[in-house]
Structure 1
Amino acid sequence: MNNRMKTIQRKTWAVITLSVIVLLSWTSCGTSRKQALVPQEPKMLHILAVNDMHAAIDNFPRFAFIVDSLRALYPDMLLFSGGDNQTGNPINDQYSPKGLPMIELMNALRFDVSAVGNHEFDCGPEGFRLLLEKASFDFLCANLAPPTGKTYRILPNKTIKMPNGLTVGVTSVLAINTGGIPDTHPDNAVGFTFYDPFETASKQLAMRDRCDVFIYLNHLGFEEDMALAGQLPKDAADLIIGGHSHTKIDNEQFHHNILITQAENKLKYATLITVKVNPDGTKERHMKLLPVGKKGNEQATVRAMVDKYNDNPAMKELLAEATDEFTSYEQVGYLMADALRDGTKTEIALINHGGVRIEQLSKGGITVRDVYTMDPFGNESVLFKLTGHELKALFIAAWPLDEELPIYPSGLKTRYLFAPDGTVSNVELFMPDGTPADMDRTYTVAMNNYMASVYKYEHQDPGTGLFQPTAENMIRYLKALKTVPSYRNEQRVELKK
């Protein structure tokens, strides 16, 4: 082959090689540009949240239908509770073991996680531990430590990996009172150690960087949740899902760029929360309050479960007839105080506002179920001998502990006087006929053991436990009374501001 032909061949192969390189380069660049032009899709998170259900088992069939309907739209939707699942329905509260119906119903609906509320402790330390073992979902509380040597299935936080790749971090803090425990009888919290919820919440920020979405599922109260949002760094959390204060939040509440929600109580509502996580990391958060308590379609399986729980003839026993309806906590509280005074044969009986769990009682038949609904805690009667001065000290000490709500008395009338700053400056005591109480005299006084344990005031008599449940005392009282008079115009407490 001559030199001219060799030169032509070399040039031809050079052109071919260059063409291949260019073609491959175009193909590669074309693929890269095509990938760059395809936008990444945002990732969605849906959460349905309730709080303070207080054993409202009769609303569960409707709630289950709503949950199923939403899961048909959002198969990966999370189901959260903000705590206080227990206490409020005698079918649940008097069940053996106490509180199990609520746990079984929550299992049936496939709850993902629940905050620990103060009323979770109402089952007692061992009862609470049993319910934790029965639950197929996790309970969260970061600001408690269980009794030494005891295992409680309570986590400080939890990470949930969603099918779409999102990582959801959840933690929880629980409100504690001035006594350093949640609002429950002190005996129910024996051995537990509780820590400041705000300091604990700040420490939980350590898990923030491991999550795409970071949530506080608190049992703290709406005002406290707002305060927490204010103390956290801006954008430190995406959501605070709350409980404890029974606040109905029906529009979006952002504080320090944190969305705060709460859905009142007793399964009247549920909050549907949507979080859209964009490819650049920004988030869009929205909430909608959904009515649950209204009548509508129900889930058949859960309806059968609730009907089985409710099939309890003992709860339907008729005790007495009310000649008029009761329309306030005050009226029901007076009835409970009268029953306590009669059963203990004391001169005075006292019922704290928090011990009265219903504000309405219909005219007509009063049943065993009604009694355990108004007085669900299993409290027992305690007898004291207190002077008028000691009684006055009790009322003043109780006011801030009872969320600035009065004690309901029997055999006594009270007048609260207030300082300009809103604190109680004095409580005047009167006998039922309106004459001033003898402050130097010693009176026999009955109250429940929660009041006896929690109220801190100067008194000599340590009290005598009567081993007499206040609810059982009420049942005996109503059976003997047969006809309950009207309390519509009864006024034993005056708040003079």
Structure 2
Amino acid sequence: MKKISIFLVAVFIIITGCSEENEVIQSKVKNLTIFFINDQHGQLNNFSKIKHIIDLEKQETNVITVCSGDIFSGNPVVDNHPQKGYPMIDVMNRVGFDISVIGNHEFDYGESILTDRMNQANFDWVCANVDMENSSVPDPFEYQTISVEDVKVTFLGLVETNGSDTKTIPSTHPWRVKNITFERPENVITKYANIKSQENADLYIALTHLGFDAGRNSLGDTQIAEQYPYFDLIIGGHSHQKINTTINTIPIFQSGANLNGLGKIELTIKDKTVQTIDYELIDLNTYSEYDADLKTIIDDYNDLPYLNEVIGYAHSYHNKSQVGCFYTDALKNTMNVDVTFQNTGGVRSTLNKGEITNREIFEISPFNNGTVIYEMSVAEIKNFLIGSKSGFYYSGIQIEQSGNTIVIKDLNNNIIPNTSILSVGTIDYIPAVYENYFPSNGNIQTLTAAETIISYLKNYNSQVNYPDCNNYFRFQ
């Protein structure tokens, strides 16, 4: 009997000791630094600086490195690599990223290429409102917990789905996500309200690619903080903003775009609650130190003489609206059509004065969109302009709004009747998004949009000069 009593006392002491030890662990102040980027769009050059910064920080404290999406589309070195997108994955692996949400432009290359890039990544992918089941693409985690030393952080991923009026898809080429199913982020987020406790995490972070403020009828980071306040932080992307604010007691961050900045969040955590938080947006363009080995690798990727070939001359600086005029003129003349349209979001760069290189054209038109020609009546063109509710650059006609109607004229100021048939050239992204307004069959061209513009500069007109052009129309 005495032996049993001694045994029970010993068990009690062990249990009590463990319990007290757990309480000490729970109440311990934990330190963590989170580095993040968003919307790098294929830009590689500053990653050698990022690696230098992160490696130094890892010598001092716990570090997690994250990305808020749109890692592809925007740099011809990455977008036109024999393995499209691979240089970005390779460099992110070498930096040591832990996790990334899937952005809308991750789908730009199509399912097969995204499959390869996701499989090559050494970091986790998260996105709770996508289902890859009917495609070859591996399903990302809805959420994932990253542990570093004694700190556990759970990330929930969400991507925007505002890419079409008729389908629930992100802002990418609809033909490239045919086998992938998306849900509106606002329809799934409540499923993950209790994940922090389920994962026994110190922090619960929404890692989003939604944009800072999506307005009343959609979900952005602002709306998450206001309506779903169970996150400790929100690290966002998509809207290309520099964000450091707090809404409904939830800190929200975004680091800009194109790898110009690196977000640094320093936290102390106690009892699964943020005690202190400090934020710095590091200007990578002024930071001078870098990892030499990674810089050499990036320099090798950038060594593509073809991209530096001079193919034209710009007589002045051209803003995006002026580039839109040049873009649509180039399509019109090369495709030999009556009228061309280009969505504003597809013109991704301005054009500096001076020599024009292949690289600059691929930066202006980075998405590898194909080109297609349709035969459409003027009435059908008007229906498209009214029904799409979007703005477009155009060439070959004049477009005016008169009250609730549209007037279309030729370049000699003559009104073109509604029954007239015009040949319409455009990138294939536009009829894919606004499919209800285009004929079912178009004449698919062999050149991409960027290749068409390059052909124009090489074979038709190498001079770009649009100081006063503003061929833009949006029905109001």
TM-score bracket, normalised by the shorter chain, equals: 0.7 to 0.9
The equivalent residue for 1:8 is none
Instruction: Please tell me the residue identity of whatever aligns with 1:337.
Output: T
Q: Does 1:317 align with 2:304?
A: no
Q: Decide whether the 8 Å contact of 1:417 with 1:495 is kept in 2.
A: no
Say which one has the larger Rg. Answer: 1
Correspondence list, 1:36-185, <5 A: 41-74=28-61, 76-148=62-134, 150=136, 152=138, 154-163=140-149, 165-177=150-162, 178=165, 179-185=167-173
The equivalent residue for 1:186 is 174
**Which segment drifts farther, 469-478 or 84-93?**
469-478
What is the alpha-carbon distance in structure 2 between the residues aligned to residue 198 and residue 384 of structure 1? 37
What is the alpha-carbon distance in structure 2 between the residues aligned to residue 449 and residue 410 of structure 1? 17
Determine helix, strand or coil for the equivalent of 2:209.
coil
The equivalent residue for 2:18 is none
Q: Does 1:212 align with 2:202?
A: yes
Equivalent of 2:326 in 313, 335, 342: 335
Equivalent of 1:248 in 242, 246, 249: 242
TM-score, scaled to structure 1: 0.84
What is the alpha-carbon distance in structure 2 between the residues aligned to residue 54 and residue 148 of structure 1? 27
**Which segment drifts farther, 283-292 or 206-215?**
283-292
Identity %: 29
Equivalent of 2:336 in 336, 345, 350: 345
Instruction: Please tell me the residue identity of whatever aligns with 1:450.
Output: Y
Q: Would the alpha carbon gap of residues 63 and 167 (structure 1) be closer, same or farther in structure 2, given more than 3 Å must change?
A: closer
Determine helix, strand or coil for the equivalent of 1:222.
coil
Equivalent of 1:228 in 224, 232, 235: 224
Q: Deviations over 1:15-71 (max 9, x none)?
A: xxxxxxxxxxxxxxxxxxxxx999964212210111000011122223333323333
Can you give the 5+ residue segments of structure 1 that lack an aligned partner in the other structure? 1-35, 401-405, 419-424
Q: C-alpha displacement at 1:279, in angstroms? A: 4.5
Q: Deviations over 1:181-233 (max 9, x none)?
A: 1111112112111112112222122312122210010111101111122111x
Q: Decide whether the 8 Å contact of 1:132 with 1:153 is kept in 2.
A: no
CA RMSD of aligned residues (A): 2.4
Q: Would the alpha carbon gap of residues 380 and 197 (structure 1) be closer, same or farther in structure 2, given more than 3 Å must change?
A: same
Q: Deviations over 1:45-103 (max 9, x none)?
A: 210111000011122223333323333433x2111000000010001100010000000
Instruction: Please tell me the residue identity of whatever aligns with 1:61.
Output: S
Equivalent of 1:368 in 351, 354, 358: 358
The equivalent residue for 1:239 is 233
Q: C-alpha displacement at 1:461, in angstroms? A: 5.9
Instruction: Please tell me the residue identity of whatever aligns with 2:66.
Output: F
What is the alpha-carbon distance in structure 2 between the residues aligned to residue 37 and residue 153 of structure 1? 38
Q: Deviations over 1:218-259 (max 9, x none)?
A: 111101111122111x4x11011001111111x4x2222211
What is the alpha-carbon distance in structure 2 between the residues aligned to residue 259 and residue 391 of structure 1? 46
The equivalent residue for 2:19 is none
Determine helix, strand or coil for the equivalent of 1:475.
helix
Q: Decide whether the 8 Å contact of 1:412 with 1:492 is kept in 2.
A: no
Instruction: Please tell me the residue identity of whatever aligns with 1:82.
Output: S
Instruction: Please tell me the residue identity of whatever aligns with 1:289.
Output: L
Q: Deviations over 1:283-323 (max 9, x none)?
A: 33332222123352222111101110111122122111222
What is the alpha-carbon distance in structure 1 between the residues aligned to residue 303 and residue 151 of structure 2? 44
What is the alpha-carbon distance in structure 2 between the residues aligned to residue 44 and residue 271 of structure 1? 17
What is the alpha-carbon distance in structure 2 between the residues aligned to residue 266 and residue 44 of structure 1? 29
State the aligned residue count: 443
Instruction: Please tell me the residue identity of whatever aligns with 2:177.
Output: A
Instruction: Please tell me the residue identity of whatever aligns with 1:126.
Output: S
TM-score, scaled to structure 2: 0.87
What is the alpha-carbon distance in structure 1 between the residues aligned to residue 371 and residue 411 of structure 2? 22
What is the alpha-carbon distance in structure 2 between the residues aligned to residue 484 and residue 62 of structure 1? 38
Q: Deviations over 1:104-127 (max 9, x none)?
A: 010010000001001111121010
What is the alpha-carbon distance in structure 2 between the residues aligned to residue 434 and residue 279 of structure 1? 72
The equivalent residue for 1:33 is none
Q: Would the alpha carbon gap of residues 116 and 84 (structure 1) be closer, same or farther in structure 2, given more than 3 Å must change?
A: same
Instruction: Please tell me the residue identity of whatever aligns with 1:332.
Output: V
Equivalent of 1:450 in 411, 415, 429: 429
The equivalent residue for 2:398 is 413
Determine helix, strand or coil for the equivalent of 2:188.
helix
Q: Decide whether the 8 Å contact of 1:386 with 1:442 is kept in 2.
A: yes
What is the alpha-carbon distance in structure 1 between the residues aligned to residue 27 and residue 148 of structure 2? 17
Q: Decide whether the 8 Å contact of 2:202 with 2:272 is kept in 1.
A: no
What is the alpha-carbon distance in structure 1 between the residues aligned to residue 454 and residue 26 of structure 2? 68
Instruction: Please tell me the residue identity of whatever aligns with 1:394.
Output: F
Q: Does 1:203 align with 2:191?
A: yes
Q: Would the alpha carbon gap of residues 416 and 205 (structure 1) be closer, same or farther in structure 2, given more than 3 Å must change?
A: farther
Q: Deviations over 1:258-278 (max 9, x none)?
A: 111111100111221122212
What is the alpha-carbon distance in structure 1 between the residues aligned to residue 112 and residue 438 of structure 2? 33
Q: C-alpha displacement at 1:158, in angstroms? A: 0.7
Can you give the 5+ residue segments of structure 2 that lack an aligned partner in the other structure? 1-22, 214-219
Correspondence list, 1:362-401, <5 A: 362-400=352-390
